Amino acid sequence: MDEIEELLRADLWELGRRAFAIRAKLYGDVTTFISNMILNYTNVCVVGCSFCAFYRPPRHPEVYTYSVEEAVRRVLEVDARYGIRQVLVQGGVNPEIGIEYFEELFRRIKERAPHIAIHALSPLEVDYLSRRERMSYREVLERLKEAGMESMPGGGGEILVDEVRRLIAPRKIDAETWLRIMEEAHRLGIPSSATMMYGHVESLRDVALHMRKIAELQAKTGGFMAFIAWNFEPGTSELGKKIPYPKTSATLLRMVAVARIVFRDLIPHIQTGWLTTGPETAQLAMYFGADDFGGTLYEEKVLEWKRAEAPIDRREDVAKLIKSAGFRPAERDNLYRIIPGEEYRKT
């Protein structure tokens, strides 16, 4: 861990040089992306993280929950308009929603649009379902996989240090539980992303410990497909009142570069999400080790105000951003496999 912390304190340009050399050796000038939508199926949540401006407590006048029919309709409409390869299903911890909701939702999506991969739920939501249904994590994950869930996002990871988690999200699962659920998913053949939300109350040592824990689990399971670091965005959240300004773009570049170096032989892909720090920083991040640009994020609501600021509406917009930064865009699928013929002709 001391070595990771030293990297986090190292000269930014030297980090970039090392990370870009690794990226170029692995992927040349290709940067992948995916056409996807975000299905925020509910904003009701009883966890109440201080950094989240999206959630509403039960019975709040602004709460919503999509019925299965409405959720499927939205997915099919976005697919008909844009053509998508993935739907990311995520929302709040809503006490009114049980595992049958997700089983029906996943099955209906796969019946109507089998080409759309279901990238769904976080360890937090799996833990909630486990307790609600009185099932083991394995049983919950087996049922969700059987219904059509193909991979898991890394939501709820934040910083995998309990002292930090108690400050920003005291009712959220602890670091060990997050890691245990991810390990169970990987053992069942459900790959996932690993994430990190920085820029709030964490120290560089906390970031180093987070990366070490991710690396240790990956060495055991090999189930993480990508690592994604994103910046805390204050917005109108409770935590934003105490930390009103986000970290600069340079911090994201540092995190991306260190991740590429640390995870060089472990996690194949480093993603540069454009949503929190903007598309220009995401372009720069490709020179600091990132090889994936994320996706189109149709319908995303958690950071909707940030999405509205970015000139990205279609897959062609993503491809143009990648190409204008000097890289070759290639559309991928849910498992980071390049789609044949999609290196990328529609620019």
Q: Which residues are known binding-site members?
A: 45, 49, 51-52, 122, 158
In this model, does residue 343 exceed pLDDT 70? Answer: no
How high does pLDDT run on average in the chain?
88
Calculate what percentage of the chain has a pLDDT beyond 90: 66
* 244 vs 267 pLDDT, higher one: 267
In this model, does residue 52 exceed pLDDT 70? Answer: no
Number of domains present in the structure of the chain: 1
Q: Which residues are known binding-site members for S-adenosyl-L-methionine?
A: 51, 158
Of 143-152, 264-273, 306-315, which range is least confident?
306-315
Q: Compute the average pLDDT of residues 123-141.
A: 96
Q: Which residues are known binding-site members for (3R)-3-methyl-D-ornithine?
A: 122
Q: What is the pLDDT of residue 46?
A: 75
| CB 290 within 8 Å of CB 243 | no
Q: What is the pLDDT of residue 347?
A: 42
pLDDT band per the 50, 70, 90 thresholds, residue 346: very low
Domain that holds residue 240: 2-343
pLDDT band per the 50, 70, 90 thresholds, residue 300: very low
Q: Which residues are known binding-site members for [4Fe-4S] cluster?
A: 45, 49, 52
What digits encode the pLDDT tens for the residues 91-128? 888 889 999 999 999 999 999 999 999 999 999 999 99
- CATH number for the domain that contains residue 270: 3.20.20.70
In this model, does residue 285 exceed pLDDT 90? Answer: yes
Q: What is the pLDDT of residue 199?
A: 84
What digits encode the pLDDT tens for the residues 24-49? 999 999 999 999 988 999 888 877 66
pLDDT band per the 50, 70, 90 thresholds, residue 301: very low
In this model, does residue 242 exceed pLDDT 60? Answer: no
Q: Compute the average pLDDT of residues 46-59.
A: 67
Q: Compute the average pLDDT of residues 271-288.
A: 87
Q: What is the pLDDT of residue 302?
A: 44
pLDDT band per the 50, 70, 90 thresholds, residue 235: low
